Amino acid sequence: MNIKVSTIFILLCGVFLIYSFSIYIIPFKEKAAVGFDPGQAAFGRLVWQKHNCQSCHQLYGLGGYLGPDLTNIISNPQKGEVVIAPLVKYGVKQMPAFDLTDYELSVLIQFLKSTDASGISDPRNFIKDNFGMINEHEIK
Amino acid sequence: MNMKLSKLNFGSLFLLFALKMLLFGLVFGVLASLSYVYPEFLKDKLGFISLRPLHVSSAMFWIILGATGCIYSGLQIYTGTSASNQRSKWQFILWTVAIIGIFFSYFLKDFGGREYWEFNPIWALPIVMAWILFISNFITMVKGFKQWPVYVWMWLTGIIFFLFTFLENYLWIFPIFRSHFVTDMTIQWKVNGSLVGSWNQILYGTAFFLMDRIENSKSTGRSKLAFFMFFLGLFNLMFNWGHHIYTLPTEKYIRYIGYWVSMTEWVFFIRIIYEWKKNITTIQKNYHHFPYRFLMASEIWVFLNMGQAILMSIPAINIFTHGTHVTVAHAMGTTIGINSMILLAACFEFLNFNLEKHARKIKTLNITFWFLQSFLLLFWLALNGAGIRKGIWQMSVNQSSYSQMMESLNPFISVFVVSGAGLLISFSIIAFVLIKSSISRNVIYHQDS
Ligand code: HEM
């Protein structure tokens, strides 16, 4: 039994590693989208983490549950880039006031531009097919 | 080896360490939930921004340290050897250092990690070192044994995949990954899915171990069915995580793999229904045995949570529940209902809680058990209610504002907060009884010495 068990185990692990690496190599073969500075966006991601925005905000529906999803805040006609600085500086409801440097704020905005450029997170943008799968209606 | 060290029972030590994390986690959870009702609650001092990570990380530590305690306790029984050595000692010290560091940094609002692991990556180092010591101890203990029962395979799988995914969790340190937002998020949720899968391997393995021990047989751990379940679980750990990210614009095949693999979980679900009747008779026979009762409670929670999880893995349904409190209901429903119940069963068994000697406490424990299950049901239903309401909002054409929607969740949130406080009280009673009786009987030392 044990030989059979270890063979299946090793085979599965092999397939898992191939699947994992097929994902790790994506950033090396594809260029990042346009409309933002990828280097600064990568720093902005660290600002997002350093101030734990994720504990209340979501990106593509993933994150905390107190505040709204911020994936497309930049291209939202009622919100946009201009609302970010004052909200971050003074806070709102459970959101505390943050003391961000100008540099931190500017790279944070680059990061939010990168999330915005990646697609649309609004669940209403999806259509169902006959197999229960969903597909984007509109693609950025 | 020094005398004292060789007498220490690291299985019990890790279980008691875990129980303390459970208590911390519960207190922080209740405090965090108050922010929903009173937005200004502790806002300038701790606030939700610190309380959520304090709660979620404590909950993770309860599960992971508990899983460690289960493996050590189980292995000591299975192999007949002791796990008391320098490696376990350092493993314990490294975990203590990491947890103190992490708590301090949360209090000081010094973040820097990702959801569930919001600490500065520096603190991941002692955790990784502790885990490597754990793996080396594990291998030393089992290597002379052949024909492993299924639980040894499951423990091994759990500890190896934990290390792999925990390291994978830090790929974001390299800017190339971070600058590709979508791939970065894909990896993050691949990690979260597999990490849960790896501690589930350890805990379900422990449940098999406990079943054999309670029934005084070796049949469960060696049955073909158990091995089949093990591989199906492993297959899901490896490939089902795509169901977390259906709306993320990542490669299409990831969505399809996640969807189809998740559907294999119907097999687990149908098996539970199929064995229902058999279980009922065994429940009646073993009802008075606490480890058994908690294991059975976990089975019922598996049934409820798995039913929900499989439905949520269908993308057309997921689009309603994604990003809502249905997800929170699922996350806490499984970590409390399944993982914590198995862990409590293990604590009662491995900490040698002897019923006859505790006749007075039995009545309290009996009542507490039922309060715990009832509060959990309420808690779970309230979160699901809040989630469904938000789900309808997020799919509706004429949306009210975000803050109006949040306000409309208030009735559900009130039930959530009150039943959460009930959970805090009932879990605490059980944890205190276990800790107190363990200390009074010196279970942190090997009993035979
Ligand atoms: C053994 C007990 C518990 C465990 C293992 C546990 C585990 C968790 C986990 C894994 C999450 C993350 C959920 C997600 O991101 O989807 C979470 C979030 C949370 N839990 Fe618990 N929990 C426990 C008890 C409690 C209790 C008693 C309360 C009190 C009401 C509570 C309140 C919360 C709150 C407020 C959140 C954050 C939800 C949000 O982001 O809005 N938890 N818990």
Full set of structural domains in chain B with CATH: 264-449 (1.20.210.10)
Confidence (pLDDT) at A32:
63
**What ipTM was estimated for this complex?**
0.95
What is the average per-residue pLDDT within B172-177?
95
Domain that holds residue A73: 38-122
What angle (nearest 5°) sits at the alpha carbon of residue B201, between those of residues B64 and B189?
A: 75
The pTM for the full model equals: 0.96
Alpha helices in chain A (DSSP H): 2-24, 26-29, 38-50, 81-90, 102-118
Q: Do B247 and A24 touch (CB under 8 A)?
A: no
Chain B hits for A58, CB-CB cut-off 8 Å, are 323
Burial label for B200, CB within 10 Å (0-12, 13-18, 19+), is buried
Q: Give me the residues of B, 32-51, that contact A with CB < 8 A.
A: 35-36, 39, 43-44, 47-49
Name the residue with higher pLDDT: B257 or B221. Answer: B257
By Cβ distance, the residue of B36, B323, B397 closest to A58 is: B323
Flag whether pLDDT at B268 surpasses 90.
no
From first to last of its 140 residues, what are the pLDDT tens digits of chain A? 577 899 999 999 999 999 999 999 999 988 767 788 989 999 999 999 999 999 999 999 999 999 999 999 999 999 999 999 999 999 998 999 999 999 999 999 999 999 999 999 999 999 999 899 999 887 77
Going through B343-438 in order, the beta strands assigned E by DSSP cover none
Coil, strand or helix: which one is B2?
Answer: coil
The alpha carbon of B29 and the centre of ligand 1 are apart by a number of angstroms equal to 6
Nearest CA in chain B to A91: B43
Confidence (pLDDT) at B289:
83
Chain A hits for B323, CB-CB cut-off 8 Å, are 58, 61-62, 65, 69, 123
Confidence (pLDDT) at B449:
42
d(CA A66, CA A69): 10
Q: Which of these ranges, A129-138, B163-172, B351-360, has the smallest mean pLDDT?
A: B351-360
d(CA B206, CA A6): 20
Confidence (pLDDT) at B249:
94
Confidence (pLDDT) at B288:
76
Query: Does a structural domain hold residue A76?
Result: yes
Which residue's alpha carbon is nearest to atom 35 within ligand 1? B33
Confidence (pLDDT) at A112:
97
Q: Which of these ranges, B152-161, B219-228, B377-386, has the smallest mean pLDDT?
A: B219-228
Question: How would DSSP label each residue in B80-100?
Answer: -----SHHHHHHHHHHHHHHH
C-beta of residue B98 within 8 angstroms of C-beta of residue B130: yes
Query: Does a structural domain hold residue A68?
Result: yes
Tell me if chain A has a CB within 8 Å of the CB of B324: yes
Tell me if chain B has a CB within 8 Å of the CB of A119: yes
b (16+ CB within 10 A) / e for B10-47: bbbbbbbbbbbbbbbbbbbbbbbbbbbeeeebebeebb
Q: Count Cβ–Cβ pairs < 8 Å, chain A vs chain B.
A: 173
Q: What percent of chain B has pLDDT over 70?
A: 98
Does ligand 1 come within 6 angstroms of the Cβ of B338? no
Query: Does a structural domain hold residue A6?
Result: no
Query: Does a structural domain hold residue A25?
Result: no
Does ligand 1 come within 6 angstroms of the Cβ of B158? no
What angle (nearest 5°) sits at the alpha carbon of residue B286, between those of residues B281 and B289?
A: 160
C-beta of residue B310 within 8 angstroms of C-beta of residue B265: yes
Confidence (pLDDT) at B210:
93
Query: Does a structural domain hold residue A106?
Result: yes
Count other Cβ atoms within 10 Å, centred on residue A105. Answer: 17
* Packing angle, helices B224-239 and B181-214, rounded to 10: 160
- In this structure, what token pair is assigned to residue A126? 């999806």
Q: What is the CATH number of the domain that holds A97?
A: 1.10.760.10
Query: Does a structural domain hold residue A105?
Result: yes
Confidence (pLDDT) at B2:
65
Reported as a single tens digit per residue, the pLDDT across B232-243 is: 999 999 999 999
What is the average per-residue pLDDT within B345-374?
88
Name the residue with higher pLDDT: A19 or B354. Answer: A19
Query: Does a structural domain hold residue A26?
Result: no
What is the average per-residue pLDDT within B334-338?
97
When divided into structural domains, chain A yields a total of 1
Reported as a single tens digit per residue, the pLDDT across B389-418 is: 999 999 999 999 999 999 999 999 999 999
Q: Which of these ranges, A85-94, B14-23, B283-292, has the smallest mean pLDDT?
A: B283-292
Q: Which residues pair with A135 in a beta bridge?
A: A127
d(CA A19, CA B242): 12
- Which of B197, B169, B163, B166 has the alpha carbon at shortest distance from B185? B169
Reported as a single tens digit per residue, the pLDDT across B123-161 is: 999 999 999 999 999 999 999 998 899 999 999 999 999
Chain B hits for A64, CB-CB cut-off 8 Å, are 52, 115
Tell me if chain A has a CB within 8 Å of the CB of B420: no
Q: Which of these ranges, B80-94, B271-285, B354-368, has the smallest mean pLDDT?
A: B271-285
Residue linked to tokens 């509109």: A138
Q: Which of B328, B373, B424, when mutated, tests ligand 1's pocket best, judged by the most ligand atoms within 8 Å of its CB?
A: B328
Flag whether pLDDT at B211 surpasses 70.
yes
Query: Does a structural domain hold residue A12?
Result: no
Q: Please, what is the average pLDDT of chain B? A: 93
Confidence (pLDDT) at B434:
94
Confidence (pLDDT) at A15:
97
Reported as a single tens digit per residue, the pLDDT across B75-117 is: 999 999 999 999 999 999 999 999 999 999 999 999 999 999 9
Flag whether pLDDT at B3 surpasses 70.
no
By Cβ distance, the residue of A9, A50, A55 closest to B53 is: A55
Nearest CA in chain B to A9: B231
